[in-house]
Amino acid sequence: MRNCYLSVLFVFLAISLSAQQLAQYSLYNMNPYVFNSAYAGMESTLVATGAYRQQWSGLKGAPVTQHVNAHLPIYSINSGIGLRVENDVVGAHNGSHAVLSYSYHLQVGRLSTLSVGLGAGYTQYVLDGAKLRAPQGSYENPDFSHNDQVLPEGKERVGAPMLEAGVFWQGKNLEIAVSVQPVYASKLTTGTGGFGIKPIQHGFFYTAYSHSLTDNLTLKPSILVKTDLIKTQAEATLLARWREMIFAGVGFRGFSSASKDAAVLIGGLKLNDKTILLYAFDVPLSALSSANRGSHELLLRYSLNRPIGVGKLPPVVYNPRFF
């Protein structure tokens, strides 16, 4: 009976207008492009990132997420482009999307850049009725029936175009960004109208500061706030880098006793001059802590570490002799 109610709960999460629809990432500060299209090309080189997250390990039907992205600058037009693909499975519910991004970079003063980005793509949701169980259903072989007019017995697929936008300011040591995902996405419904979901707009605020304590040790505190204007989630992270080779950090998700979710432990290594591997473990602190063994997240990051093409043009230096 418990599994029946759990299956119905996942259906409710999939079709409810107030459902949480965005994937969770603990290593967000090493992958800002995941939540902001304006970050495309901001690192002045080709960057590719892959992430895998298993949330609430040990809880049946808990979220499992795969994510890959790549972005690079286009110096000739002060811009950047990027591509992001994500797949997020929650029980019988599977959400996936692919987004192509464009950003325009404006130099602000000598040491800072302002980027404005737009993303356009396609989002799809799949509800697998074969994974659902209803209290009134009949599931003895060879019969399979929910005995319900709403629950599908096979897979229901719905999809629609989507748009997103963001602004990213980057100074010498400080970063500040805001973004919205999606800015626009129509309600996803089947032709029969039996299954539908409305993508909910989420706003992001991000800030990070890099500070070198010594020649070998750099600290990067960061904050990420997410909101749909009904519920808000905030997390803070402190990441340390030793000789650009070893990474260690801690984080905390939740800003009150009612919203605390997890404490985060981070470790990582620079595998070579272009590749970094990071791992995060979330220690559960919410009411679900008794039902799961924590969350695991792996991130592999590749950076070409050199300018694409001719690179940025050097600043113009005027010689008084020619005045």
pLDDT tens-place string over residues 143-195: 788 877 777 777 888 888 999 999 999 999 999 999 999 998 877 776 655 66
- Could you tell me which CATH class the domain 2-306 is placed in? mainly beta
Provide the residue count of the chain. Answer: 323
Backbone angles phi, psi at 87, to 5 degrees: -135, 125
pLDDT score of 323: 40
Angstrom distance (rounded) from CA 223 to CA 207: 5
How does residue 15 score in pLDDT terms, banded at 50, 70 and 90?
A: very low
pTM of the model: 0.85
CA 120 to chain centre: 16
Q: How are beta strands 174-185 and 275-284 bridged, if at all?
A: unpaired
Angstrom distance (rounded) from CA 157 to CA 148: 19
Angstrom distance (rounded) from CA 127 to CA 61: 13
